[in-house]
Structure 1
Amino acid sequence: MTTPAPEFNKKLGFINAFTAATLMGFVGFFARHIDAQGDFIAFSRMMCGAILFFGILAYKGRIKELLAYKLSIPMILSGFFMGNCLSAYITATQHTSIANAVFFIYIGPIISTLLAVIFLKEKMKPATWFALVAVFIGMMMISGLMSVGPNGLSFGMEFSQETFFGDMMGLYSGVGYGLFLFLGRYRTEVPGDVRAFWNFVFALAGITILFIFTKPTISQMTSTDWMWWIGIGIVCGFGALGTCTIATRHLKAAEFACVSYWECVVAALFVGLLFYGEPLSSGQMIGGALIIIGGMSEVVISMLGKSLKKTDKQADAMGAL
């Protein structure tokens, strides 16, 4: 019996991608209220995701589907890297500059795009390359890595021996993020909620292994800390990472990459400006505009291309009559 070809829904993919990026942008907001080690915070995101997706499948009477689809190496590694990259990112923010940590993790979508082009033969239109470059430059500007001055653009990334460990953890977070997104393009015949459950399970396993070395403590956590810990698990775990998994099933790597940088705008505008009164510089506003323009242009191009293909198929069908 052959496996039926999966149905791809671009609209559903982009909705989930924007939802994932929006909720991911609130990670810093929740994390600031939790007195705990970074990998233990990441553990909440994976645990809540696994429990809630299992609950959804149980409610729908689809538990048997968890065993109906055979596990594969890409499914296992996708979840493993999802958990590891987030733990590594939070660790990086504690040992190097925020700008460096942000830069490293956001090379992830670029890595996943290149891997998909090379190994999955996903085609890239010139307009998509332009959109990807625009959102990447926008990310560097909104995170403060690039700034606008009297002499034009300047690049402000710095490295030192003291921040070497943090930078390496940041690099690992970016590579891990890229591998998580790339491996999510395999086994697209598996339903999104089933795939999300296994992603969270293997992410939990990966983080638990890290606990052997990091030895996180929880004795300092208050009842308020625990409430925020559960909150970040539901919003930025189940919500953000669950919709991310569903989005990668329906979108090409480059399509998801262009939208994923919307997280930077959410973090800077909605969290930084509205909640904490952190002002935006002219360079950050330009960066935000580039991300919005680049991300929306890719959505329009992809949806328009799909619409044209559908029209062509209908015309061919009518011609055959």
Structure 2
Amino acid sequence: MADLDVLLSDLRLLVDVESPSLEVEALSKSAAVLASLMHERTGRRATVVDGPVGPHVHWSGGGEPKVLILGHHDTVFPMGTVAQRPFSVVDGRALGPGVFDMKAGIVQALHAVAALDDPSGVEMLFTADEEVGSGSSRELLEERAQACGNVLVLEPSADGGAVKTGRKGCGTFEVVVGGRASHAGLEPEAGVNSLIEASHQVLHIATIGDAAAGTTVTPTVAQAGTADNVVPAETRIRVDCRVTSAAEKDRVEAAMAGLSPVDPEASVTVHGSMNRPPMPESSSATLLPLAEAAMPGVLGVAVGGGSDGNFTAALGIPTLDGLGAVGGGAHADHEHVFVDTMVGRVDLVEGILRGLL
């Protein structure tokens, strides 16, 4: 059985090394600390794989690959957050930036692998850019997933510790609306108001979703104008999209690409795509029974958020997600992990590994 004090010590080590996405110097330090910890816990050295936005960390137990443990060591929190909110344990909760998403999951995975008498067949890959779309790591993670044939994703659990059996496909679009500036008081009629045109576009975009199909299309961020007395020449809108099927992915992409201006003097340009394909619940069919055997009563649920498991499942590789920490507050100041669940999650991952090996 894993030692909780050691788990918390390892978690403190990782949380207090900041690793914001796209901060290459910080991510390089994080990767070095993580690789060292992996060597210390398993007795085998990890490989640090350089990438344009930060290094990924890959570990192999040797032998014929049978299962890939997949996660990420980047976080959404900017440099300096650790100084404001360093790792701590308060009232049974571990706190600190990235503690829930997903450094506790990494620690739990390391201890699960370390508990195996023979880790041959196990690989671990912790990437540096999951929070920003996995652009530099996708090829590597897909390659290792195909080589291993099974994927366990150490993203945080769903509510109550449930594992994640399916995920929606997700993507972000940016709609750039062009107009023409003019003086808002002297000659507003000489301008083309991009904000008014953007309002038409937002109302139309909001109709693209389909609740019955599980599709959400949600305008989330808008930026317009330069001064209160200037007709805005440009407005930018960001749109979050989630789908449950490949057909809906194609429909949403076509609908976004087909946006056209209401005002013939305005312009509408659309950037982006559905970055992560849907992860169907069928992808976890062979792995969920192993989780249920390792932790009787554990539930499996489909969720709306995306992860790197979307990529591996789309390749037809058995994938089970949400095997990481139990807690809440991902990406928020109150992010936390329930300390009394950590040993049980180590046992869960270890049990699944033993079933696969």
Q: Give TM-score, length-normalised by structure 1.
A: 0.24
Which protein is richer in strand relative to its size? 2
Higher relative CO (Cα under 8 Å, sequence separation at least 6) belongs to 1
Which protein is richer in helix relative to its size? 1
* Structure of higher CA gyration radius: 2
